[in-house]
Amino acid sequence: MTDDTATTSPIILPLINLTTDPEVLIFNIDDAKKLRNEYNILGVLTGTLQQYPQQNTFLSVPLRLVIWEVLWLLKNKKAILVDQKAYRTARLTGEVSNTNYSGNLITTANTEPSADLELAMKYQVPVKEYVRRYLANSTFTVDTFIRYARYYSHLQNHGYFINPGLKFGGDLVIYPGDPLRYHSYSIVKFEFVDMHQIVVGGRLATSVKKNLVIMGERNLSTQKHDEVDDEVIDEIFEDSVPLTFSIEWAGFG
């Protein structure tokens, strides 16, 4: 069997502002296509297109990746996380020859030379620092964050296409194939056992022709993590099989 990591160059994931807003935004169109076609990573398009006034239907790059997608890519060595400001400064100040000058104009291509990968690797951001900065700007506890990352990874490893599930009252929505061709059939909710929420969630899911999937840990660890260290990263990247239940109202909707 061929090792994909040995034959495929990793995707450069630009981390825009590690200090205050650790978002990963993909501007490279080829990378966005590769994420979707090869790794089932959808992200969320957030850019505007002037020729399309209905921006809720047609959106463009940048493609924003949620942290679960980033961690899955890093775990499986499909990508490297790069300090975008330092990397772009290095390119502009001459570490790589700039071929984007055309007369008095500076053009920016939709793709970048593969030779830039060597330069980008000099500015990799450690995953521990990325997670630490993200948690500093979120409401997650470290232990909840570890569990949620595992749940996402479990679904992604099964080949689903995954989107945020907020508009359906869940954490995620999963698709059996590309959402351009398939409807989603499950709303995924992490860790709730309140019977009122289960009833409401099950009825809502069934009314939109989906089932409700609840995910939880099989064995909750009694160890609590107060800060992000190497052990936390190991736990995030550890494969696990969560408890999974599906709920659907028969004859309803």
Catalytic residue among 158, 210, 224, 225: 210
Global pTM value: 0.86
Task: Say which of 33, 77, 122, 183 is annotated catalytic.
Answer: 183
Residue of 154, 175, 196, 225 marked active site: 175
128 carries an active-site annotation: no
Would residue 175 show up in a list of annotated catalytic residues for this protein? Answer: yes
- Residues 48-103: pLDDT tens digits? 776 666 656 678 889 999 999 999 999 999 999 999 999 989 988 865 555 554 55
Q: pLDDT tens digit string along 211-246?
A: 999 999 887 776 789 899 999 999 999 998 999 998
The question of whether 210 is a catalytic residue gets the answer: yes
Question: What does R_g of the chain's alpha carbons equal in angstroms?
Answer: 20
> Mind listing the domains of the chain with CATH numbers?
1-138 (no CATH), 140-252 (3.40.1350.10)
Q: Alpha carbon of 119 to those of 82, 86, 95, 164: distances in Å? A: 10, 10, 8, 33
Q: What residues contact 81, with CB distance under 8 A and at least 6 apart?
A: 13, 15, 24, 70, 74, 124, 125, 127, 130
State pLDDT tens for residues 135-163.
998 999 999 999 999 999 999 999 999 99
